[in-house]
Protein backbone atom coordinates (compact mmCIF):
# COMPACT_ATOMS: atom_id res chain seq x y z
CA UNK A 1 0.00 0.00 0.00
CA UNK A 2 1.69 3.16 -1.13
CA UNK A 3 0.52 6.43 -2.63
CA UNK A 4 2.72 8.07 -5.24
CA UNK A 5 1.51 11.66 -5.50
CA UNK A 6 -1.84 13.39 -5.17
CA UNK A 7 -1.69 15.02 -8.60
CA UNK A 8 -0.88 11.72 -10.21
CA UNK A 9 -3.74 10.05 -8.37
CA UNK A 10 -6.29 12.56 -9.60
CA UNK A 11 -5.15 12.19 -13.20
CA UNK A 12 -5.48 8.44 -12.99
CA UNK A 13 -8.95 8.60 -11.46
CA UNK A 14 -10.22 10.45 -14.50
CA UNK A 15 -9.05 7.84 -16.97
CA UNK A 16 -9.88 4.77 -14.88
CA UNK A 17 -13.30 5.75 -13.60
CA UNK A 18 -14.55 2.15 -13.62
CA UNK A 19 -11.84 1.06 -11.16
CA UNK A 20 -11.13 4.03 -8.91
CA UNK A 21 -8.44 2.72 -6.60
CA UNK A 22 -5.58 5.02 -5.66
CA UNK A 23 -2.07 3.88 -6.57
CA UNK A 24 -1.18 1.26 -4.02
CA UNK A 25 -4.40 1.29 -2.09
CA UNK A 26 -4.99 -2.30 -3.07
CA UNK A 27 -2.56 -3.02 -0.69
CA UNK A 28 -2.58 -4.18 2.76
CA UNK A 29 -3.84 -7.28 4.43
CA UNK A 30 -7.09 -7.03 6.37
CA UNK A 31 -6.07 -6.81 10.00
CA UNK A 32 -7.31 -9.03 12.77
CA UNK A 33 -10.34 -7.27 14.17
CA UNK A 34 -10.53 -6.74 17.91
CA UNK A 35 -13.53 -9.07 18.02
CA UNK A 36 -11.72 -11.93 16.31
CA UNK A 37 -8.11 -11.68 17.43
CA UNK A 38 -8.48 -14.44 19.98
CA UNK A 39 -8.75 -18.21 19.83
CA UNK A 40 -11.69 -18.13 17.42
CA UNK A 41 -9.72 -16.84 14.43
CA UNK A 42 -9.52 -19.08 11.36
CA UNK A 43 -9.04 -19.01 7.60
CA UNK A 44 -10.25 -21.58 5.06
CA UNK A 45 -8.65 -21.28 1.61
CA UNK A 46 -9.49 -23.20 -1.58
CA UNK A 47 -8.26 -22.40 -5.08
CA UNK A 48 -8.04 -25.91 -6.60
CA UNK A 49 -4.45 -25.60 -7.84
CA UNK A 50 -3.79 -29.01 -6.27
CA UNK A 51 -6.16 -30.51 -8.85
CA UNK A 52 -8.31 -31.93 -6.05
CA UNK A 53 -11.56 -30.84 -4.38
CA UNK A 54 -9.52 -29.52 -1.41
CA UNK A 55 -11.91 -30.42 1.39
CA UNK A 56 -15.18 -30.01 -0.50
CA UNK A 57 -17.68 -32.88 -0.23
CA UNK A 58 -20.52 -33.36 -2.67
CA UNK A 59 -23.89 -33.63 -0.88
CA UNK A 60 -26.34 -33.51 -3.81
CA UNK A 61 -26.14 -34.06 -7.55
CA UNK A 62 -23.19 -35.26 -9.60
CA UNK A 63 -19.85 -34.56 -7.94
CA UNK A 64 -18.02 -31.54 -9.40
CA UNK A 65 -14.74 -31.72 -11.27
CA UNK A 66 -11.62 -29.58 -11.36
CA UNK A 67 -11.16 -28.12 -14.85
CA UNK A 68 -8.48 -26.10 -16.60
CA UNK A 69 -11.07 -24.32 -18.75
CA UNK A 70 -12.71 -21.99 -18.04
CA UNK A 71 -9.74 -20.84 -15.99
CA UNK A 72 -9.03 -17.82 -13.81
CA UNK A 73 -5.84 -16.14 -14.98
CA UNK A 74 -4.62 -19.52 -16.22
CA UNK A 75 -5.57 -21.30 -13.01
CA UNK A 76 -8.11 -24.13 -12.54
CA UNK A 77 -11.64 -23.94 -11.17
CA UNK A 78 -14.30 -26.18 -9.69
CA UNK A 79 -16.95 -26.96 -12.32
CA UNK A 80 -20.40 -27.68 -10.87
CA UNK A 81 -23.26 -28.93 -13.08
CA UNK A 82 -26.94 -28.92 -12.16
CA UNK A 83 -28.94 -31.46 -14.16
CA UNK A 84 -32.07 -32.84 -12.47
CA UNK A 85 -31.69 -30.64 -9.38
CA UNK A 86 -29.22 -28.45 -7.46
CA UNK A 87 -25.62 -29.62 -7.22
CA UNK A 88 -24.25 -28.83 -3.77
CA UNK A 89 -20.90 -29.14 -2.02
CA UNK A 90 -19.96 -28.50 1.60
CA UNK A 91 -16.69 -27.68 3.36
CA UNK A 92 -15.93 -26.91 7.00
CA UNK A 93 -12.25 -27.76 7.47
CA UNK A 94 -10.74 -25.56 10.18
CA UNK A 95 -13.94 -23.57 10.78
CA UNK A 96 -14.22 -22.16 14.30
CA UNK A 97 -17.84 -21.67 15.24
CA UNK A 98 -19.54 -19.01 17.31
CA UNK A 99 -17.59 -15.94 16.20
CA UNK A 100 -19.39 -12.64 15.64
CA UNK A 101 -17.66 -11.82 12.35
CA UNK A 102 -16.98 -13.92 9.25
CA UNK A 103 -15.71 -12.68 5.88
CA UNK A 104 -15.60 -14.51 2.56
CA UNK A 105 -14.70 -14.15 -1.10
CA UNK A 106 -15.35 -16.14 -4.28
CA UNK A 107 -14.70 -15.81 -7.99
CA UNK A 108 -17.60 -17.12 -10.09
CA UNK A 109 -18.12 -17.82 -13.79
CA UNK A 110 -21.89 -18.15 -14.30
CA UNK A 111 -22.14 -17.46 -18.02
CA UNK A 112 -23.84 -20.84 -18.53
CA UNK A 113 -25.83 -21.25 -15.33
CA UNK A 114 -26.94 -19.99 -11.94
CA UNK A 115 -24.92 -20.54 -8.78
CA UNK A 116 -24.46 -19.47 -5.18
CA UNK A 117 -21.70 -19.46 -2.60
CA UNK A 118 -21.93 -18.76 1.09
CA UNK A 119 -22.31 -20.02 4.62
CA UNK A 120 -24.42 -22.94 5.76
CA UNK A 121 -25.76 -23.78 9.19
CA UNK A 122 -27.28 -26.79 10.88
CA UNK A 123 -30.66 -25.95 9.37
CA UNK A 124 -29.45 -25.04 5.86
CA UNK A 125 -28.02 -21.98 4.16
CA UNK A 126 -27.70 -18.83 6.26
CA UNK A 127 -25.86 -16.37 3.94
CA UNK A 128 -25.30 -16.55 0.18
CA UNK A 129 -24.13 -14.49 -2.75
CA UNK A 130 -24.81 -15.66 -6.27
CA UNK A 131 -25.18 -14.95 -9.97
CA UNK A 132 -28.15 -15.78 -12.16
CA UNK A 133 -29.16 -14.31 -15.51
CA UNK A 134 -26.41 -11.71 -15.42
CA UNK A 135 -27.54 -10.39 -12.02
CA UNK A 136 -25.80 -10.56 -8.64
CA UNK A 137 -28.01 -11.87 -5.82
CA UNK A 138 -27.66 -11.91 -2.03
CA UNK A 139 -29.71 -13.27 0.84
CA UNK A 140 -30.08 -16.04 3.39
CA UNK A 141 -30.55 -18.69 0.67
CA UNK A 142 -31.19 -18.85 -3.10
CA UNK A 143 -34.98 -18.81 -2.74
CA UNK A 144 -35.03 -15.59 -0.72
CA UNK A 145 -32.02 -13.88 -2.35
CA UNK A 146 -32.72 -10.50 -3.93
CA UNK A 147 -31.19 -8.98 -7.05
CA UNK A 148 -28.53 -6.43 -6.14
CA UNK A 149 -27.04 -5.28 -9.45
CA UNK A 150 -25.90 -6.46 -12.84
CA UNK A 151 -22.66 -8.36 -13.08
CA UNK A 152 -20.10 -5.62 -13.84
CA UNK A 153 -18.13 -5.56 -17.07
CA UNK A 154 -14.75 -4.07 -17.90
CA UNK A 155 -13.36 -4.97 -14.48
CA UNK A 156 -9.86 -5.98 -13.41
CA UNK A 157 -10.84 -9.64 -13.54
CA UNK A 158 -10.89 -12.10 -16.44
CA UNK A 159 -13.78 -11.87 -18.87
CA UNK A 160 -16.90 -13.78 -17.74
CA UNK A 161 -15.68 -13.93 -14.13
CA UNK A 162 -17.09 -11.93 -11.21
CA UNK A 163 -15.37 -11.32 -7.89
CA UNK A 164 -17.71 -11.19 -4.88
CA UNK A 165 -16.78 -10.49 -1.27
CA UNK A 166 -18.88 -10.16 1.88
CA UNK A 167 -18.66 -9.39 5.56
CA UNK A 168 -21.18 -11.30 7.69
CA UNK A 169 -21.43 -10.06 11.26
CA UNK A 170 -23.53 -9.23 14.28
CA UNK A 171 -24.45 -5.56 13.84
CA UNK A 172 -25.98 -5.25 17.31
CA UNK A 173 -24.65 -2.42 19.47
CA UNK A 174 -25.52 -1.15 22.94
CA UNK A 175 -27.65 1.55 21.35
CA UNK A 176 -29.23 -0.90 18.89
CA UNK A 177 -29.20 -4.33 20.56
CA UNK A 178 -31.76 -5.84 18.17
CA UNK A 179 -29.92 -5.06 14.92
CA UNK A 180 -28.97 -8.70 14.47
CA UNK A 181 -26.74 -10.25 11.85
CA UNK A 182 -26.22 -8.62 8.46
CA UNK A 183 -24.16 -9.18 5.32
CA UNK A 184 -22.30 -6.38 3.56
CA UNK A 185 -21.87 -7.40 -0.08
CA UNK A 186 -19.14 -6.00 -2.32
CA UNK A 187 -19.12 -6.60 -6.08
CA UNK A 188 -15.79 -6.21 -7.91
CA UNK A 189 -14.58 -3.30 -5.78
CA UNK A 190 -14.40 -2.90 -2.02
CA UNK A 191 -14.81 0.84 -1.64
CA UNK A 192 -18.59 0.67 -2.23
CA UNK A 193 -21.07 -1.53 -0.38
CA UNK A 194 -23.34 -2.98 -3.07
CA UNK A 195 -25.97 -4.12 -0.57
CA UNK A 196 -26.60 -4.75 3.12
CA UNK A 197 -28.80 -7.79 3.77
CA UNK A 198 -30.33 -8.93 7.08
CA UNK A 199 -29.47 -12.53 7.96
CA UNK A 200 -31.49 -13.78 10.94
CA UNK A 201 -29.76 -17.19 11.19
CA UNK A 202 -26.14 -16.31 10.29
CA UNK A 203 -24.90 -16.78 13.86
CA UNK A 204 -25.43 -20.54 13.43
CA UNK A 205 -22.89 -20.89 10.60
CA UNK A 206 -21.13 -24.27 10.50
CA UNK A 207 -19.28 -24.22 7.17
CA UNK A 208 -19.25 -23.10 3.54
CA UNK A 209 -21.47 -24.25 0.70
CA UNK A 210 -21.48 -24.15 -3.11
CA UNK A 211 -24.86 -24.60 -4.76
CA UNK A 212 -25.46 -24.62 -8.51
CA UNK A 213 -29.18 -24.35 -9.24
CA UNK A 214 -29.08 -24.37 -13.06
CA UNK A 215 -26.61 -25.15 -15.83
CA UNK A 216 -22.86 -25.07 -15.25
CA UNK A 217 -21.06 -22.66 -12.92
CA UNK A 218 -17.35 -22.52 -12.07
CA UNK A 219 -15.95 -21.36 -8.72
CA UNK A 220 -12.45 -20.58 -7.44
CA UNK A 221 -10.36 -18.27 -5.27
CA UNK A 222 -12.44 -19.11 -2.20
CA UNK A 223 -11.56 -17.76 1.25
CA UNK A 224 -13.66 -17.87 4.41
CA UNK A 225 -12.05 -16.25 7.43
CA UNK A 226 -12.48 -14.19 10.57
CA UNK A 227 -10.09 -11.64 9.08
CA UNK A 228 -11.83 -8.81 7.25
CA UNK A 229 -11.46 -9.14 3.47
CA UNK A 230 -13.45 -6.23 2.00
CA UNK A 231 -13.31 -2.85 3.69
CA UNK A 232 -15.55 0.09 3.13
CA UNK A 233 -12.69 2.55 2.69
CA UNK A 234 -12.67 4.93 -0.32
CA UNK A 235 -9.90 3.97 -2.71
CA UNK A 236 -9.23 0.60 -1.06
CA UNK A 237 -9.29 -2.50 -3.21
CA UNK A 238 -7.43 -5.68 -2.44
CA UNK A 239 -6.75 -6.29 -6.14
CA UNK A 240 -7.78 -9.90 -6.13
CA UNK A 241 -6.88 -11.42 -9.46
CA UNK A 242 -3.79 -9.28 -9.92
CA UNK A 243 -1.55 -11.65 -8.02
CA UNK A 244 -0.86 -9.40 -5.08
CA UNK A 245 0.69 -11.99 -2.81
CA UNK A 246 -0.53 -11.27 0.67
CA UNK A 247 -1.16 -13.71 3.47
CA UNK A 248 -3.85 -13.97 6.08
CA UNK A 249 -2.51 -14.21 9.58
CA UNK A 250 -4.84 -15.88 12.05
CA UNK A 251 -2.73 -15.71 15.21
CA UNK A 252 -0.57 -13.02 16.80
CA UNK A 253 3.20 -13.28 16.87
CA UNK A 254 5.11 -12.64 20.09
CA UNK A 255 6.09 -9.00 20.45
CA UNK A 256 9.11 -8.37 18.22
CA UNK A 257 11.30 -5.44 17.27
CA UNK A 258 13.02 -6.76 14.14
CA UNK A 259 11.73 -8.37 10.93
CA UNK A 260 14.19 -9.62 8.32
CA UNK A 261 13.72 -11.46 5.03
CA UNK A 262 15.68 -12.51 1.98
CA UNK A 263 14.43 -11.69 -1.49
CA UNK A 264 15.55 -13.34 -4.72
CA UNK A 265 14.68 -11.50 -7.94
CA UNK A 266 15.42 -14.32 -10.35
CA UNK A 267 14.10 -12.37 -13.34
CA UNK A 268 11.69 -9.60 -14.16
CA UNK A 269 10.57 -7.64 -17.21
CA UNK A 270 8.28 -4.64 -16.88
CA UNK A 271 7.32 -1.94 -19.42
CA UNK A 272 6.63 0.82 -16.87
CA UNK A 273 8.15 2.13 -13.64
CA UNK A 274 6.35 2.06 -10.31
CA UNK A 275 3.64 -0.46 -11.23
CA UNK A 276 4.90 -3.79 -9.85
CA UNK A 277 6.53 -4.10 -6.42
CA UNK A 278 7.59 -6.82 -3.98
CA UNK A 279 7.63 -6.11 -0.24
CA UNK A 280 7.47 -7.13 3.43
CA UNK A 281 5.36 -5.59 6.20
CA UNK A 282 5.44 -5.30 9.97
CA UNK A 283 2.55 -3.97 12.09
CA UNK A 284 2.49 -2.63 15.61
CA UNK A 285 -0.35 -3.24 18.07
CA UNK A 286 -2.73 -0.71 16.50
CA UNK A 287 -1.85 -1.72 12.97
CA UNK A 288 -2.53 -5.37 13.83
CA UNK A 289 -5.90 -5.14 15.58
CA UNK A 290 -7.52 -2.07 14.04
CA UNK A 291 -9.90 -2.42 11.11
CA UNK A 292 -10.42 1.33 10.70
CA UNK A 293 -6.98 2.70 9.95
CA UNK A 294 -5.15 3.70 6.80
CA UNK A 295 -1.51 2.65 7.11
CA UNK A 296 -1.32 3.74 10.77
CA UNK A 297 1.03 1.39 12.58
CA UNK A 298 1.84 -0.23 9.25
CA UNK A 299 5.52 -0.39 8.23
CA UNK A 300 6.39 -1.57 4.74
CA UNK A 301 9.67 -2.13 2.90
CA UNK A 302 10.13 -3.18 -0.70
CA UNK A 303 11.27 -2.47 -4.23
CA UNK A 304 9.57 -1.47 -7.45
CA UNK A 305 10.52 -3.83 -10.28
CA UNK A 306 11.28 -1.38 -13.06
CA UNK A 307 12.35 -1.72 -16.71
CA UNK A 308 15.89 -2.49 -17.85
CA UNK A 309 16.89 -4.47 -14.74
CA UNK A 310 16.41 -1.54 -12.40
CA UNK A 311 14.83 -1.48 -8.94
CA UNK A 312 13.51 1.44 -6.89
CA UNK A 313 13.73 0.72 -3.12
CA UNK A 314 11.17 2.39 -0.84
CA UNK A 315 9.45 2.21 2.55
CA UNK A 316 6.19 3.26 4.25
CA UNK A 317 6.63 4.85 7.67
CA UNK A 318 3.65 3.67 9.73
CA UNK A 319 1.82 7.00 9.69
CA UNK A 320 0.42 7.18 6.16
CA UNK A 321 0.51 5.37 2.84
CA UNK A 322 3.19 7.55 1.26
CA UNK A 323 6.08 5.65 -0.33
CA UNK A 324 9.40 7.19 0.65
CA UNK A 325 12.02 6.32 -1.95
CA UNK A 326 15.63 5.88 -0.87
CA UNK A 327 16.69 7.53 -4.14
CA UNK A 328 14.44 10.58 -4.55
CA UNK A 329 13.47 11.66 -8.04
CA UNK A 330 12.85 15.14 -9.41
CA UNK A 331 9.44 13.78 -10.47
CA UNK A 332 7.76 12.09 -7.47
CA UNK A 333 5.56 9.88 -9.66
CA UNK A 334 8.56 8.55 -11.59
CA UNK A 335 11.13 6.40 -9.81
CA UNK A 336 13.56 4.96 -12.37
CA UNK A 337 15.66 3.32 -9.67
CA UNK A 338 19.13 1.83 -10.00
CA UNK A 339 20.60 -1.06 -11.92
CA UNK A 340 20.53 -4.48 -10.29
CA UNK A 341 21.09 -7.51 -12.52
CA UNK A 342 18.66 -10.35 -13.11
CA UNK A 343 19.17 -12.92 -10.36
CA UNK A 344 19.93 -10.29 -7.75
CA UNK A 345 19.64 -11.14 -4.06
CA UNK A 346 18.45 -8.69 -1.42
CA UNK A 347 18.21 -8.68 2.38
CA UNK A 348 15.43 -6.55 3.87
CA UNK A 349 15.01 -5.46 7.50
CA UNK A 350 12.55 -3.35 9.49
CA UNK A 351 13.88 -2.64 13.00
CA UNK A 352 12.30 -0.77 15.90
CA UNK A 353 15.30 0.83 17.59
CA UNK A 354 13.76 1.46 20.99
CA UNK A 355 16.80 3.23 22.41
CA UNK A 356 16.99 5.73 19.55
CA UNK A 357 13.16 5.92 19.33
CA UNK A 358 13.13 5.30 15.59
CA UNK A 359 12.37 2.64 13.00
CA UNK A 360 15.24 1.72 10.70
CA UNK A 361 14.57 0.54 7.14
CA UNK A 362 17.42 -1.22 5.32
CA UNK A 363 17.80 -3.05 2.00
CA UNK A 364 21.13 -4.66 1.16
CA UNK A 365 21.74 -5.66 -2.45
CA UNK A 366 24.15 -8.57 -2.07
CA UNK A 367 24.82 -8.64 -5.81
CA UNK A 368 25.81 -5.01 -6.37
CA UNK A 369 26.92 -4.39 -2.74
CA UNK A 370 24.64 -1.35 -2.54
CA UNK A 371 23.00 -0.54 0.81
CA UNK A 372 19.84 1.56 1.10
CA UNK A 373 19.02 2.71 4.61
CA UNK A 374 16.94 5.38 6.33
CA UNK A 375 15.27 5.99 9.71
CA UNK A 376 12.09 7.66 10.90
CA UNK A 377 11.15 8.76 14.45
CA UNK A 378 8.97 6.23 16.29
CA UNK A 379 7.96 5.78 19.91
CA UNK A 380 5.10 3.26 19.67
CA UNK A 381 4.57 -0.36 20.61
CA UNK A 382 6.61 -3.30 19.38
CA UNK A 383 5.43 -5.25 16.31
CA UNK A 384 2.89 -8.08 16.56
CA UNK A 385 2.23 -9.22 12.99
CA UNK A 386 3.74 -9.44 9.52
CA UNK A 387 2.90 -10.38 5.96
CA UNK A 388 4.24 -10.14 2.42
CA UNK A 389 3.05 -8.69 -0.87
CA UNK A 390 3.52 -8.62 -4.58
CA UNK A 391 1.62 -5.49 -5.53
CA UNK A 392 0.36 -4.36 -8.94
CA UNK A 393 -1.08 -0.89 -9.62
CA UNK A 394 -3.97 -1.28 -12.10
CA UNK A 395 -4.94 2.37 -11.80
CA UNK A 396 -1.49 3.59 -12.94
CA UNK A 397 -0.71 0.94 -15.50
CA UNK A 398 -0.65 1.75 -19.24
CA UNK A 399 0.15 -1.74 -20.56
CA UNK A 400 -1.54 -5.16 -20.47
CA UNK A 401 -0.78 -7.02 -17.26
CA UNK A 402 0.54 -9.90 -19.39
CA UNK A 403 3.44 -7.62 -20.39
CA UNK A 404 4.72 -7.84 -16.81
CA UNK A 405 6.87 -10.84 -16.00
CA UNK A 406 8.41 -11.72 -12.65
CA UNK A 407 10.05 -14.72 -11.04
CA UNK A 408 11.06 -14.24 -7.43
CA UNK A 409 10.82 -15.35 -3.84
CA UNK A 410 10.73 -14.09 -0.26
CA UNK A 411 12.12 -16.53 2.31
CA UNK A 412 14.00 -16.90 5.60
CA UNK A 413 11.61 -14.49 7.28
CA UNK A 414 12.68 -14.05 10.91
CA UNK A 415 11.62 -11.97 13.86
CA UNK A 416 13.63 -10.94 16.92
CA UNK A 417 11.46 -10.86 20.04
CA UNK A 418 11.70 -8.42 22.92
CA UNK A 419 13.81 -10.95 24.84
CA UNK A 420 16.30 -11.19 21.96
CA UNK A 421 15.14 -14.58 20.68
CA UNK A 422 15.48 -14.95 16.90
CA UNK A 423 12.61 -16.99 15.51
CA UNK A 424 11.54 -18.01 12.01
CA UNK A 425 7.89 -17.33 11.25
CA UNK A 426 6.03 -20.60 11.93
CA UNK A 427 4.78 -22.60 8.98
CA UNK A 428 1.16 -22.16 10.07
CA UNK A 429 1.38 -18.38 10.49
CA UNK A 430 0.34 -17.20 7.04
CA UNK A 431 -2.27 -18.47 4.62
CA UNK A 432 -2.63 -17.14 1.09
CA UNK A 433 -4.88 -14.11 0.77
CA UNK A 434 -4.97 -13.22 -2.90
CA UNK A 435 -4.36 -16.37 -4.85
CA UNK A 436 -4.03 -15.53 -8.51
CA UNK A 437 -1.48 -14.10 -10.88
CA UNK A 438 -1.01 -14.05 -14.64
CA UNK A 439 0.86 -17.02 -16.14
CA UNK A 440 3.86 -14.72 -16.63
CA UNK A 441 4.33 -14.40 -12.86
CA UNK A 442 6.00 -16.95 -10.62
CA UNK A 443 6.60 -16.22 -6.96
CA UNK A 444 6.97 -17.67 -3.52
CA UNK A 445 6.20 -15.12 -0.86
CA UNK A 446 6.44 -16.92 2.46
CA UNK A 447 9.19 -19.13 3.86
CA UNK A 448 10.04 -20.90 0.62
CA UNK A 449 7.93 -23.74 -0.74
CA UNK A 450 7.63 -25.74 2.47
CA UNK A 451 5.53 -23.28 4.45
CA UNK A 452 4.32 -20.87 1.82
CA UNK A 453 2.08 -20.56 -1.15
CA UNK A 454 3.99 -21.08 -4.39
CA UNK A 455 2.33 -19.45 -7.38
CA UNK A 456 1.25 -21.94 -10.04
CA UNK A 457 0.09 -20.86 -13.49
CA UNK A 458 -0.82 -22.23 -16.87
Residue 19: its pLDDT value, please?
19
Listed range (217-221, 226-230, 318-322) with the worst mean pLDDT: 226-230
Same-domain status, 139 and 217? yes
Domain assignment present for residue 216? The answer is yes
Among residues 170, 201, 225, the one where a domain terminates is 225
Domain assignment present for residue 401? The answer is yes
Listed range (105-119, 224-238, 250-264) with the worst mean pLDDT: 224-238
Listed range (24-28, 69-73, 108-112, 164-168) with the worst mean pLDDT: 24-28
Domain assignment present for residue 169? The answer is yes
Among residues 225, 252, 280, the one where a domain terminates is 225
Q: Is 389 in contact with 426 (CB distance < 8 Å)?
A: no
Same-domain status, 278 and 389? yes
Listed range (2-11, 43-52, 63-72, 83-92) with the worst mean pLDDT: 2-11
Q: How does strand 344-353 pair with strand 358-365? A: antiparallel
> How many structural domains are present in the chain?
2
Residue 110: its pLDDT value, please?
97
Domain assignment present for residue 53? The answer is yes
Q: Which residues of 347-359 are buried (b: 16+ CB within 10 A; e: fewer)?
A: ebbbbbeeeeebb
Same-domain status, 336 and 219? no
Chain centroid offset of residue 285 CA: 20
Same-domain status, 142 and 257? no
Same-domain status, 424 and 282? yes
Q: What is the 3-state secondary structure (H, E, C) of 97-160?
A: CCCCEEEEEEEEEEEEEEEEEEEEECCEEEEEEEEECCEEEEECCCCCCEEEEECCCCCCCCCC
315 versus 409: the higher-pLDDT residue is 315
CATH number at residue 58: 2.60.120.200
pLDDT greater than 70 at residue 125: yes
Average pLDDT over residues 406-433: 82
Domain assignment present for residue 36? The answer is no
Listed in sequence order, the residues at least 6 apart from 264 whose beta carbon sits closer than 8 Å to its beta carbon are 343, 344, 345, 346, 408, 409, 411
CA–CA separation, 205 and 436 (whole Å): 27
DSSP 329: -
Segments forming the whole domain that contains residue 246: 6-30+232-451
DSSP secondary structure string, 360-385? EEEEEETTT--EEEEEEE--S--EEE
Among residues 174, 193, 225, the one where a domain terminates is 225
The mean predicted confidence, pLDDT, of the chain is 80
Is residue 242 very low, low, confident or very high in pLDDT (cuts 50, 70, 90)?
A: very low
Chain centroid offset of residue 73 CA: 16
Domain assignment present for residue 19? The answer is yes
Percent of the chain with pLDDT over 70: 76
DSSP 193: -
pLDDT greater than 70 at residue 453: no
Domain assignment present for residue 190? The answer is yes
Query: 3-state class of 448 per DSSP?
Result: helix
pLDDT greater than 50 at residue 214: yes
Same-domain status, 126 and 265? no
**Max intra-chain CA distance, the chain:** 70
Give the CB-side neighbour count of residue 337, counting CA atoms within 13 A.
22
* Helix ranges, 278-328 (H): 285-289
Is residue 334 very low, low, confident or very high in pLDDT (cuts 50, 70, 90)?
A: low
Same-domain status, 10 and 113? no
Residue 43's nearest CA partner among 123, 101, 112 is: 101
CATH number at residue 342: 2.60.120
Average pLDDT over residues 2-27: 23
Same-domain status, 324 and 306? yes
Domain assignment present for residue 38? The answer is no
Amino acid sequence: MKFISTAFVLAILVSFAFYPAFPGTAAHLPALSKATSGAGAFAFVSNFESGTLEGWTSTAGTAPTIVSSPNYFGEPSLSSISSSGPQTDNANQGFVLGDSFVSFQVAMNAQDGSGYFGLTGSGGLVAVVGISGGQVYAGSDPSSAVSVKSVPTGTAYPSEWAYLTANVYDASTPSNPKAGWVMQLFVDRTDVVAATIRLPSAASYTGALIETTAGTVCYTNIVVTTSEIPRYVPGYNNMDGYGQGSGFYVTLLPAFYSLTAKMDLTSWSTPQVGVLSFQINAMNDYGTVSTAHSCVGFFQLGVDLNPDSTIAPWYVTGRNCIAHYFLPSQKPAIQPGVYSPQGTKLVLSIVDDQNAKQVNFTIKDLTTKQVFTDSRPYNGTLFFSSYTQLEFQPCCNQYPISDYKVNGALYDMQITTQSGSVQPLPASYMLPFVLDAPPTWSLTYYQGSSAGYTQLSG
